[in-house]
């Protein structure tokens, strides 16, 4: 079982990109918008996460990313007609695809890891992310 410190750290780790996602950022007098990278795969949401290097395995399916509502309006406009973006899903060697997987939005850049929202991350995912899981307090 993962201790409360690890759960708190993971919550901060996973929600920080969401806190800054879908917000307008200014620079040089111009406004630019940005959304957190979230996809749906097998009925679950997965979020982008910074990671170190990892080995990409076989293609296992397709994930859908909803259109980004980054216009700063009064919420989502139901009349929008954009289709979700499709991404090929690749397994990460040594990681269960239910916990995390890789996508390649642009093959000129390195692949990146997405982790399942609302799930405690196993040690192998934490290792790829470059973070060390703290053992539960009662096991010290």
Residues 85-132: pLDDT tens digits? 999 999 999 999 999 999 986 666 778 899 999 888 999 999 998 875
Give the pLDDT confidence score for residue 116 in this predicted structure: 94
- Is the confidence at residue 78, as pLDDT, over 50? yes
Give the pLDDT confidence score for residue 111 in this predicted structure: 83
Give the pLDDT confidence score for residue 67 in this predicted structure: 85
- Is the confidence at residue 81, as pLDDT, over 90? no
Count of domains observed in the chain = 1
Give the pLDDT confidence score for residue 96 in this predicted structure: 96
- Is the confidence at residue 38, as pLDDT, over 80? yes
Give the pLDDT confidence score for residue 101 in this predicted structure: 96
Q: Which of 17-21, 43-47, 106-110, 125-129 has the lowest mean pLDDT?
A: 17-21
HEC sequence for 42-60: CCEEEEEECCCCCCEEEEE
Band (4; pLDDT cuts 50, 70, 90)? very low
* Long-range contacts, stretch 40-46, CB < 8 angstroms, 24+ apart: 40/64, 40/65, 40/66, 40/84, 41/89, 41/101, 42/98, 44/98, 44/116, 44/117, 45/116, 45/117, 45/118, 46/100, 46/101, 46/114, 46/115, 46/116, 46/117
| pTM confidence score | 0.63
Domain, as residue range, for 42:
4-139
- Is the confidence at residue 22, as pLDDT, over 80? no
Q: What's the chain's average pLDDT? A: 72
């Amino acid at each position: 079982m993962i201790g409360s410190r690890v759960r708190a750290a993971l919550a901060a780790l996973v929600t920080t990109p969401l806190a800054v996602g879908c917000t307008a950022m200014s620079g040089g007098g111009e406004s630019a918008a940005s959304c957190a990278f979230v996809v749906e795969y097998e009925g679950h949401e997965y979020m982008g996460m910074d990671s170190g290097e990892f080995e990409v395995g076989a293609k296992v399916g397709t994930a859908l990313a909803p259109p980004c509502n980054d216009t700063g309006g009064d919420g989502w406009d139901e009349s929008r007609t954009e289709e979700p973006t499709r991404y090929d899903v690749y397994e990460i060697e040594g990681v269960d695809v239910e916990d995390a997987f890789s996508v390649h939005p642009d093959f000129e850049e390195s692949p990146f890891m997405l982790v399942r929202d609302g799930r405690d991350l196993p040690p192998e995912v934490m290792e790829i992310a470059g973070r060390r899981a703290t053992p539960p307090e009662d096991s010290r």
